[in-house]
Amino acid sequence: MFPTESELTVTVTPTLQQVLDVVDELWPASLAEDWDAVGLVAGRREAEVRRIHFAVDPVAAVVEEACQARADLLITHHPLLLRGVHSVEAGTFKGEVIHRLIESGCALLTAHTNGDSAVGGVNDVLAEILGLQDAQPLQPAADGLAEEGLGRIGTLPQSTTLGDFAATVFEILPAVAGGVRVAGDRDAIIQRVALCGGAGDSLLAAVRASDADVYLTADLRHHPASEAREAVGGDRPYLIDVSHFASEWLWLPAAAQTLDRRLADAGFDVEIAVSGINTDPWDFVLTPGR
């Protein structure tokens, strides 16, 4: 029997540059905030990429996991070098990470606020998992598509109580020590939901200007949260504060699947894995009565 045309299709190993080109189509660097540091951190663009590893944070354990798996590229959501450094000597945490990556031949790529704002990015995935309908950006991108930008606001298919919605949020997120914190009447009926994966207190004004019943985000600090609640007299929008890591980890499986599909469509043969390491910095929490 002669092979079919599809059986004759030859897949090739892409270079790092070819992977970067596909990544920029999915999560354009142009969508990154001005203060952000996205893109290639370490690696030779002409090197071949056979294995890709996805993670939220480029911490030592994640880098070791990627290197042990013989990954050629580690893609993380959070930057390793967001703020200026003057040395990457191996005696420092960041220096050791850089040395481990280079010595193992593993490149490092960051997709941060561009991964938040893009279509199919962190916020779209979170909105989809929560079942939000007609989700739109809370803060549209200045030079992007109408669907691109920070945060999302959409509508649940059916109204529910704030308490039940918070319980749903708790169930879908990876288990972390901090759990879920809520500000508002547990029995209040909500349907319109605003969200922002990661730290989202910069969008509180946009949330207040919207018709959101509740705002789901992470890293809400005392003063911004207190002032937001005072500004509405304790009424809507209510607040739900979750783990920064947990809110963004949900994007990784979807991002890995999307990149895998795009690379395959381009004729590239690459193995892609998602880190299972919990990089939330907190280990346990004490609550009243416990």
User: Which residue, of 224, 244, 264, is where some domain finishes?
Assistant: 244
Do residue 125 and residue 238 come from a single domain? yes
Could you please report the per-residue DSSP string of 55-97? ES---HHHHHHHHHTT-SEEEESS-S-SS--S---TTSHHHHH
Do residue 165 and residue 82 come from a single domain? no
Q: Is 38 within the bounds of a domain?
A: yes
Which pLDDT score, from 0 to 100, does residue 85 have?
86
Work out how many domains the chain is built from and give that number. Answer: 2
The CATH number covering residue 198 comes to 3.40.1390.30
The pLDDT tens digits for 102-135 are: 999 999 999 999 999 999 999 999 999 999 999 9
Q: What 3-state class would DSSP assign to 207?
A: helix
Do residue 162 and residue 80 come from a single domain? no
Q: Is 6 within the bounds of a domain?
A: no
Structural domain span for residue 264: 16-112+249-274
* Alpha-carbon span 31 to 120, nearest angstrom: 13
Do residue 99 and residue 155 come from a single domain? no
Do residue 211 and residue 158 come from a single domain? yes
Do residue 122 and residue 227 come from a single domain? yes
Which pLDDT score, from 0 to 100, does residue 3 have?
54
Task: Give start and end residues of each alpha helix (H) in 147-250.
Answer: 162-172, 204-209, 222-231, 244-249
Do residue 158 and residue 266 come from a single domain? no
Do residue 264 and residue 189 come from a single domain? no
Quote the pTM value: 0.94
Q: Is 286 within the bounds of a domain?
A: no
Residues of the chain with pLDDT under 50: none
